[in-house]
Amino acid sequence: MSDAQVFRLTIAYDGTQFHGWQRQPDVRTVQGELERALREVLAQEVVTLNGAGRTDTGVHARGQVASFRATTALPAHAFPPMLQRQLPRDIRVMDAAACPAHFHARHSARGRRYTYRLLDSHDVLYERFAWYPQREVSETALSAAVSALAGEHDYSAFQAKGSSEVDPRCRVDVVAVSRWPGGLQFDVQADHFLYHMVRNLIGTALFAARKRDPAAHMAAVLASRDRARAAGTAPPHGLCLEEVIYEAEDLTP
């Protein structure tokens, strides 16, 4: 048997039937399903899987990253097919790799990219992964609203109440509105995110898009650092974790 080694998994999942990422007793979670599958693959060795993003109930992922330490002779490329035989259809391990001993999926991450998808109209298929806000949304107005978010700011106005203590200053490197086949999508990449931040940004940006000056309204909410000044929280099913960003030296053993 080899010495303990750190492995990295890239994971996609449909979050509809999960109570979020984080393991919880008596409910179905992504971490719980993956750890169960890993026990089978690793001949009952118990491992703890560390996820880069603790997605909420109903939130999806196409680029979630998780790491674990295990004492096994299995090569990294063996994990995706072996795990897939043990996993339900709404989770897929897309890739696996060996990593340096210091690598940790969450602590080593330098940024995360999320997409929130909006619908132009009701769609019986797309509505599993995108939200129809019951009204027409102007791409120009929504783009103007989110333009105020780029750069480093205190995002306290978009942090859910009751969340744990974390630095409210985030550096938003990418913020953009574009079209996808079902409607509009909002892409945002930052060094870190506050609890419910993306969903609160969407709710507020949609409200701001109906104002005479969407960018000015959004900037005023941001500057206030007051959650009461922002609008409601968009539902979880439109949100997807697309990518986790790491430095190259953190990925190569």
pLDDT tens, position by position, 82-109: 999 999 999 999 999 999 999 999 999 9
- Rounded Cα distance between 7 and 101, Å, is 9
CA distances from 168 to 81, 164, 200 (A): 40, 11, 14
Phi, psi values for residue 48, rounded to 5°: -105, 125
Quick check: helix, strand or coil at residue 242? strand
Please answer whether residues 222 and 148 qualify as being in contact, where contact means their C-beta atoms are separated by less than 8 angstroms: yes
pLDDT confidence of residue 163: 65
Lowest mean pLDDT among 12-21, 43-52, 103-112, 115-124: 43-52
228 residue type, one letter: A
Same domain, 101 and 121: no
Over its C-alpha atoms, the chain yields an Rg (Å, rounded) of 19
Q: The domain containing residue 195 runs over which residues? A: 111-242
Give the mean model confidence (pLDDT) for residues 226-249: 97
Given 50, 77, 108, the domain boundary residue is: 108
0.85 surpassed by pTM: yes
pLDDT confidence of residue 161: 81
Structure tokens that stand for 43 in this block = 């001949």
Confidence grade of residue 252 (pLDDT, cut at 50, 70, 90): confident
9 residue type, one letter: L
The CATH number that applies at residue 181 is 3.30.70.660
Give the mean model confidence (pLDDT) for residues 186-194: 97
pLDDT confidence of residue 45: 85
Give the mean model confidence (pLDDT) for residues 35-53: 93
Neighbour count for residue 71 (Cβ, 10 Å): 12
- Rounded Cα distance between 46 and 120, Å, is 46
Same domain, 87 and 140: no
- Rounded Cα distance between 24 and 34, Å, is 13
Give the mean model confidence (pLDDT) for residues 208-228: 97
* pLDDT for residue 123 is more than 90: yes
* Size (the chain), residues: 253
The CATH number that applies at residue 32 is 3.30.70.580
The catalytic position among 3, 14, 26, 56 is 56
CA 45 and chain centroid, separation: 28
To the query of whether residue 120 is one of the catalytic residues in this protein, the response is: no
Tally the domains of the chain. Answer: 2
SS3 content of the chain, % helix, strand, coil (to 5): 30, 30, 40
Given 76, 108, 140, the domain boundary residue is: 108
With respect to residue 225, please indicate whether it lies within any of the assigned structural domains: yes
* pLDDT for residue 60 is more than 70: yes
* pLDDT for residue 2 is more than 60: no
With respect to residue 249, please indicate whether it lies within any of the assigned structural domains: no
* pLDDT for residue 157 is more than 60: yes
